[in-house]
Chain A
Amino acid sequence: MAKSPVKRFALLFALWLVLSQGRLDGVVFGAAAAAGAAWFSAAMSSAIGPRFGLLSLLRLAPGFFWRSLVGGLDVAWRALQPRMPLNPGWTAYSCRLPGGAMRVALGGELSLMPGTLVAGSDGDRLLVHCLDIGGPVEEALRAEEDRLEAAIVP
């Protein structure tokens, strides 16, 4: 989430507007709730240093949805095949992104991509479970991390 309290407030207030479908009679409550939540969020935040730019993330969205569609089709195809083509296995991937929100975002994204599932990290290595360990796993992981890294604003 954004770093400055003002941005946090704006995002949470936008959430309120979407929930209340733009009704104007509740904006006071929405503003109060968003302010309280933004304060908590800023107080609890441990994120220092680099972070994702909102616009850059939005630019990644189409590709993300496309690959998660491929991921779903891939797993559906494997599950419904009578002979169930699976070659599961583990790989440890050396991750460049720093721990915290970024690595968790990468892990969550990878868990929706074709054939990969992240089971936490060991130091700087992500433990990745693959449905087909024989495939080009390392390349796919690297490409995903590169894309996310490009969304970082200094």
Chain B
Amino acid sequence: MTQTLIFGLTGAALIALGFYGFVSHRHLLRQIVAFNLIGSGLFLLFGALARRAPDGTSDPVPQAMIITGIVVSFAATALAEAIAERLHDRTGRPSLPDLDPDDDD
């Protein structure tokens, strides 16, 4: 049970941290990295909750879903990175333009 608490709370903190990084950065690559923090935090929280069996084993079903999640999250990261890089090639900027033209960056 202690492990569920320790790693579960860490996962919760990582999600929040990643979320804050996502909204407070403008550089697309930094946002992609923050998105990965959210993802891994979620997996950790899920994995911590999978370790509640009285005999101390880990539930294999969440484990399998987390492995799926890690791979899908990599696919999403690769696609996002390719889009960001293409934007950078075309505009020379690593971030999305602002709606308000006076408030550059």
Direct contact of A and B (CB under 8 A): no
Q: Which A residues are closer than 8 A to B by beta carbons?
A: none
Q: Which B residues are closer than 8 A to A by beta carbons?
A: none
